[in-house]
Structure formats: structure tokens, C-alpha cells
Amino acid sequence: MFVHWGLYSLAARHEWVKYREELTDEQYQVYFDHFDPDRYDPVQWARTAKAAGMRYVVLTTKHHDGFCLWDSALTDYKVTNTPHGRDLVGPFVRACRAEGLKVGFYYSLIDWHHPSFPVDGNHPQRDDEEFKAATADRDIRDYQRYLHGQVRELLTDFGPVDYLFFDFSYAGRHWWGGKGPDDWDSPKLLEMIRDLQPHVLVNDRTGIPGDFVTPEQYQPSGPMTRNGQPVIWEACQTLNGSWGYDRDNLDHKSADLLVRMLVDGVSKGGNLLLNVGPTGRGDLDPRAVAALGELGRWTDLHERSVRGCGPSTYTAPVDCRYTQRGDRLYVHLFSWPLRHLHLPGLAGRVRYAQLLNDASEITRTEIAPGEPVLNTQMGGQPAGTLTLQLPVQRPDTPVPVIELFLDTPSGS
């Protein structure tokens, strides 16, 4: 579970509100002055994540607006100076650990508040000529020290951290003055991280390769590669297009779509990092809780078709996704056909088949190649096809799964 939470949660209209509305520090200060999440309950967050089938939680310790959720010694722009007055990161870490979840920190490389962060086309004050003139001598190296210092704090003050999500590099992208690995001194940053916590997984957005790549708000069309080599990937996805709490945004994905996204990702060797944007009081949005609840009902019954599974070397039929672990091949049906599902290449390779939700047997036939198609007789299947006999009634679950026990393990 990804958690985007900060001052922008009070504006409740997207975490980029400061940029979008070109708000000055003074205008944005109102959210700092009213930040008091009286209902913050990280244990509840962790339990909700776990019940949804998630096994790690990634919190925005600092987003682009520069506001810090922990008591950083390097800035005053932090939660301990708001009406809330207390660190939020420590309780989060303890809650995750208590629930047996891994801990992840998101940290924004971009900083719209820091006095040494050079203004660029991706900054709230990008059109403010006076501001730009007054800040023209900003030196990124001062900011670089701050950034490295803060990452050091995050990796020394909260015990073991499992995962770091930096966000993001944009040298050469359409914004003028874009910044990248030279500006962050990413090689040195990575060196320090490896030194402090050798086991932490780091994403790729410092602009130099990390441990995994991070497609955002799209589903890759197959296993991902870099220079022809497979890479570990994790798609980060929103529930409604916004990362931060966005009260009036109604573009919510159905639970059905969310399950399909999870399955689709695993069938391509990837992982899903699904976001929630808690409210300014610290509650998970009820709409998020409902979606995660449905996701949890599906994973509860179907966990073994995704966890620890990867792509199969078999090619799935239309509207299906395959995942595989050893001799188990899982057929995920994105649509429910009439009575028969034809699986190319699987004839003679399956020793048993069942619906995963209730372990009810699925019987199988092999239609002899060349068999004609007659009024009431199926035919016309290529050699090697295995045909499953499905009930007319589709199981009442977002994505039904058939578990195939293969004779000989093949594929990965």
C-alpha cells in the first residue's frame, strides 16, 4: 500500500495543488497552520493493508511541497511545528512492524519549499518573474546536502527500512531547468544508502538504476526489460487518478478492475503498489476502505494464484491471464465464456483442475484435432488443446481462477 499524506490532504484537491494553482509559500501556509490529524491511527492503516493482501506500506515522508512528516533536525517545515506537534513516521513504522509488514519510505527529490531549490518549469513559482529574479542565485549543492542529510536521518532514526521510493528525476523532460542524477548526486546518495542499510530496495527515480523500475498509472504490456535484460518492476497505481486525498474526484476504479490490474501485473512478472490518500484528519477514505475490502475478499480466496507466482511460458487464451508457480498453473478469467475454455498446448499436461474459490473439480476433454464442427459438437481446435468444462454460473468473485496441476513443471 502506497500512502500519500501531507499538507495537501487538507486542500483535498490533489497533491500537486501548490503547483497547479501556483500557490506561494504564504498561501500554502494555511494548510501547515491547520494540520492536526486527530484521527491518525497507523495501526488501522496497517491492518487495512494487511487484510487487503498487501505486505508492505510506503509512506510519503516528504512530498514535492517539502513538508516533512518526521521531526527532521534539518528544517522547521515539519509536522512537529504544526498544531499536531508530534512525529508521524515513528508510529507508522512501529504499526507496520507490529502487523508483520515491511516498511517503505517515499521521499521527494523535488522540493517546492526549500530555499536552495532552484526554480524550474516544474515549480509553483515558475511564472513569477519577481520570485525568479530574487532566487536566481540558488545553488543546488546546498539543497543536495539537505537531501542527503534527510535521507540519512530517515535511515538512522527509524530502525530497519525495507524500501525507498525517490520521486523524481526530470532532466531533459519538457519542463525547463529539469533536474536529474547530477543535481541530486545520485551515485553518492545510493552509496550512502547502501552503506547505512545494505538490504533496502531502492527505486529507479534518482535517475540511475536502482533495484526495481516503477511504471506509473499504466500497465506494462509484458515483462519489463532494460537493455534486453529482465528487470524487477512494480506498477504504482491510484484508486482514482489522484495520489493525495481528492474529495470531489469520483473517478474510482472498480474492485473488479483493481483485481484485474493485480493479476495482470503478476502475469507479467510485476508487483502492484496501490495508493490510498488519507484525509486531513488521518482517516482512510471510506471509498478506499471499501475497495481494499473487496480486494481482500478476493486475495483471501485466491492468494496462492498471485503470491510468489510469476509469468508462465504457456500462452493464455483471450481474456485470460496465466500465472505459475512450479507445477501450478493458474488461469484467471477476465470474462466468463459459455461452458468451455480452450487452452492451447495443455493437452496431456494437466493431471487435475479445480476452481480455486471452492476447490470444485473442473472436468476436461481433449477434442481430437480435425474433429468437424457440427450442430451440437465442438471441433476445430488445434492439436494439443485442452478443453475445460465450466459451469454456466460464474463464481461470484471479481476474477474467477482455475488451478491446474501440471504433470511436468514447465515455465517459470
Asked if 236 touches ligand GLC (CB under 6 A), the answer is yes
Asked if 298 touches ligand GLC (CB under 6 A), the answer is no
2 vs 77 by CB, closer to ligand GLC: 2
Q: Judge whether 246 and 13 are in contact, CB under 8 Å.
A: yes
CA distance 298 to 261: 13
Report in angstroms how near the CB of residue 354 gets to ligand GLC at its nearest. Answer: 38
164 vs 236 by CB, closer to ligand GLC: 236
C-alpha cell at 242: 489522484
Pairing of strands 102-108, 328-333: unpaired
C-alpha cell at 140: 543546488
Pairing of strands 386-389, 2-3: unpaired
23 vs 355 by CB, closer to ligand GLC: 23
Looking at residues 239 to 278 of the shown chain, list those that interact with ligand GLC (rule: CB under 6 A): 243
Report in angstroms how near the CB of residue 165 gets to ligand GLC at its nearest. Answer: 7
4 vs 349 by CB, closer to ligand GLC: 4
CA distance 140 to 177: 12
401 φ, ψ (degrees, to nearest 5): -130, 135
Would you give the binding string for ligand GLC spanning residues 192-231, x where CB under 6 A is met?
------------------------x---------------
Report in angstroms how near the CB of residue 273 gets to ligand GLC at its nearest. Answer: 8
Distant-in-sequence, close-in-space partners of 107: CB < 8 Å, separation ≥ 6: 61, 62, 150, 151, 154, 164, 165, 166, 167
Would you give the binding string for ligand GLC spanning residues 158-197, x where CB under 6 A is met?
---------xx-----------------------------
216 vs 300 by CB, closer to ligand GLC: 216
15 vs 403 by CB, closer to ligand GLC: 15
Asked if 285 touches ligand GLC (CB under 6 A), the answer is no
User: Helix, strand, or coil here: 97?
Assistant: helix
> Total number of residues binding ligand GLC (CB under 6 A)?
8
163 vs 330 by CB, closer to ligand GLC: 163
Would you give the binding string for ligand GLC spanning residues 1-30, x where CB under 6 A is met?
---x----------xx--------------
Transcribe 4-39 into DSSP letters: --STHHHHTB-TTHHHHTT--HHHHHHHHHT---TT
Report in angstroms how near the CB of residue 124 gets to ligand GLC at its nearest. Answer: 13
Report in angstroms how near the CB of residue 219 gets to ligand GLC at its nearest. Answer: 15
Element (H, E) at 153: helix 140-156
146 vs 170 by CB, closer to ligand GLC: 170
Pairing of strands 225-226, 102-108: unpaired
170 vs 322 by CB, closer to ligand GLC: 170
Report in angstroms how near the CB of residue 244 gets to ligand GLC at its nearest. Answer: 7
CA dihedral of 359, 361, 366, 372, whole degrees rounded to 10: -110
Is it true that the peptide bond before 32 is cis, omega within 30 degrees of 0?
no
Q: Judge whether 353 and 346 are in contact, CB under 8 Å.
A: no
CA distance 110 to 165: 13
Give contact residues for ligand GLC (rule: CB under 6 A): 4, 15-16, 167-168, 216, 236, 243
